[in-house]
Amino acid sequence: MIELHQFTPAFGLMNASPFCMKVEVFLKLAGLEYRCVNGAMPMGKPKGKLPVLHDDAQVIADSQAIVEHLQRRYADRLPPALRAPMTGAHHALRRMLEESTYFCALWLRWIDDTGWVSTAPAFFGQLPWPAYPLVPALVRRKMRRDLIGQGTGRHSRDEICQRALADLSALEAMLGEQPFFAGVEPGAIDATTYAFIANLLWAPIDNPVRAEGLKRPALVAYAERMQARVGR
């Protein structure tokens, strides 16, 4: 059986990692039988990150590599929209979400004080004293260093929010009047877009990006259509 090794779900979402959620959404859309191994840790995993997929003897790391593996191995069982290769526009959209939007959302969760109030208990609330609050503080410090190194952490809060809002506008423009980003039926790109939009709009973290996103009916309706297909 397919096993999806991922972080423990949080915020009432399928997964608080959009990369883990992306893979599970694809599996649900595909109708493939699988089980989740929640609470996995990235240390010692291939590439040192999650999600990781175990498919018989094969172990695949990286969310996009996992999706492409599933498309190849189970092509004869997938609906046409999930088998179809990504268009150039879909590739660019995925890269925007994974290389721009993601880091803005990460900063708003882990570094912004308003976000941290919700993030710390969601991820570390089960730890006993004195591990809590020591461990969260150490992880937050590392996250701050990583985001400065990546570049997003060098910007102000307003600048980061403006970047994320520009990404939301791009999503809205790409969706247009279609029910899904792939067209009349959800495709592989929708596994990515839904995972990110759900995490931005439905994680209970107050920030200008979430507030503005919830005012955009096209994105909210899209997320609700995807929720009706695969859950939240």
Q: Quick: pLDDT tens for 145-160.
A: 999 999 999 999 999 9
Query: Beta strand 58-61 with 34-38: parallel, antiparallel or unpaired?
Result: unpaired
> Which amino acid, one-letter code, is at 107?
W
Q: Indicate the domain borders of the chain.
A: 2-83, 88-230
Take residue 126 and report the two structure tokens written for it.
Answer: 């089960």
Which pTM value belongs to this model? 0.96
Q: What is the DSSP letter of 38?
A: E
Yes or no: is domain 2-83 CATH 2.60.120.620? no
Q: Specify the pLDDT at position 45.
A: 85
Query: Taking the CA of residue 11 as centre, how many other CA atoms within 13 Å lie in the half-sphere pointing to its CB?
Result: 27
Q: What is the pLDDT of residues 47-94, one digit of tens each?
A: 889 999 999 999 999 999 999 999 999 999 999 999 998 999 999 999
Quick one: 130 exposed, middle or buried, by C-beta within 10 A (0-12, 13-18, 19+)? Answer: exposed
Instruction: Give the span between the Cα atoms of 34 and 57, in whole angstroms.
Output: 15
Q: Which CATH architecture has domain 88-230?
A: Up-down Bundle (1.20)
Q: Which residue has the tokens 């268009």?
A: 87
Q: What is the mean pLDDT of residues 212-220?
A: 98
Residue 4, classed as helix, strand or coil, is: strand
* 217 burial level (CB within 10 Å; 0-12, 13-18, 19+): exposed
**Interval 40-59: pLDDT, tens:** 778 778 888 999 999 999 99
